[in-house]
Copies of this chain bind each other. A is one copy, B any other.
Amino acid sequence: MDDSSAELPVCLAGVQAAARRISQHAHITPVLTCGTLSRLSGLSLHFKAEIFQRGGAFKFRGACNSIFALSEEEAAKGVVTHSSGNHGAAVALAAQLRGIPASVVVPANTPQIKRAAIRSYGVEPIVCEATIDAREAACAQVQAASGAAFVPPYNHRDVIAGQGTIALEFLQQVPGLEAIIVPVSGGGMISGIAVAAKALKPGIKIIAAEPTGRNGAADVAACKAAGELVQLPKPTTICDGLEARLGSLTWRCVQELVDDVITISEEEVVAAMQLVMERMKVVVEPSGAAGVAAALSPQLLRRHPELTHVGVVLCGGNIDIEGRVPGFWSKWLLE
């Protein structure tokens, strides 16, 4: 079977249905601009501030769409997921809003700040060993006991459709966008955005921002170059939200709709974080700065010299400053 001719898992109507479904719960996030960053990039940059989304990241859109798409009967049995990051908090929050039970399995290396976020939405995390097998086994156990529905982090049509609502808003807010740069991990966000944006504006370019990490493992770039879903070792990157791998459904979207992949180093990600915090005055987590790093990369204009108005998704702002630099806050009190 030729993958490229396979039907895409989501269409524009699905994204529009997601937008209606989540409209009572999700924020329409603002678009920011910054003269300094535009000058540095040589472009006119427009930043979609998903850092202001509920839960502090875009993940709420997909989780909310998935959970509100459940039938009453399914929903009554609750939901379960595993996550070391923003998806777990997003599922907990969306379940709280629907008034159904949620279970969130977290690996033992999950930072306290992420566990606290899950707890703040009324869910006590279930801790398991830090392997994918242990995470899946813990979820299966919950499902066997309760019949809870599993909410996957990215490789599911309802999740992809939810994340795609970013593009509907972005193109309404900035109709002149010629390209959208999207950080990529499991590919849920870029798949949804690509489906919706290209349906509304066929000429728009969708560009993935992918950290190479310390082990140089850029799997999206490798898959695109190979023309197939290649398996690479897990990346090691400060972009802790970008350590997943493309799934079967998201790869289909990426293969067909993503125009280019800009790879970025760890140093470029940190420089982008610093610029965003010092010049735009907003907080981004490393994964959230990956798109900014790509916008500032010379690769972008070399390969797409025709671009002027470029959108960048600031996809998450859940930074753990104290975890990275212990004593950071108390240092402000000393002379």
A271 CA / B330 CA spacing, docked (Å): 9
Question: Quick one: which of A297-335 are within 8 Å of B by CB?
Answer: 317, 319, 321, 324-325, 328-333, 335
Contact (Cβ within 8 A) B281 A329: no
A329 CA / B30 CA spacing, docked (Å): 27
Segment of A126-134, A162-170, A176-184, A272-280 in the binding face: A272-280
Contact (Cβ within 8 A) A281 B51: yes
* Minimum CB–CB distance for A305 against chain B, Å: 27
- A239-272 CB contact bits vs B (8 Å, 1 = yes)? 0000000000000000000000000001100110
Does more than half of chain A's interface fall in helix, strand or loop, or is it mixed? Answer: helix
A274 CA / B238 CA spacing, docked (Å): 21
Q: How large is the interface on A (under 10, 10 to 19, 20 to 34, 35 or more residues)?
A: 20 to 34
Contact (Cβ within 8 A) A52 B281: yes
A321 CA / B286 CA spacing, docked (Å): 16
A214 CA / B270 CA spacing, docked (Å): 34
A283 CA / B51 CA spacing, docked (Å): 12
* Chain A residues packing against B (C-beta within 8 Å): 30, 51-52, 56, 214, 238, 266-267, 270-271, 273-274, 277-278, 281-283, 286, 317, 319, 321, 324-325, 328-333, 335
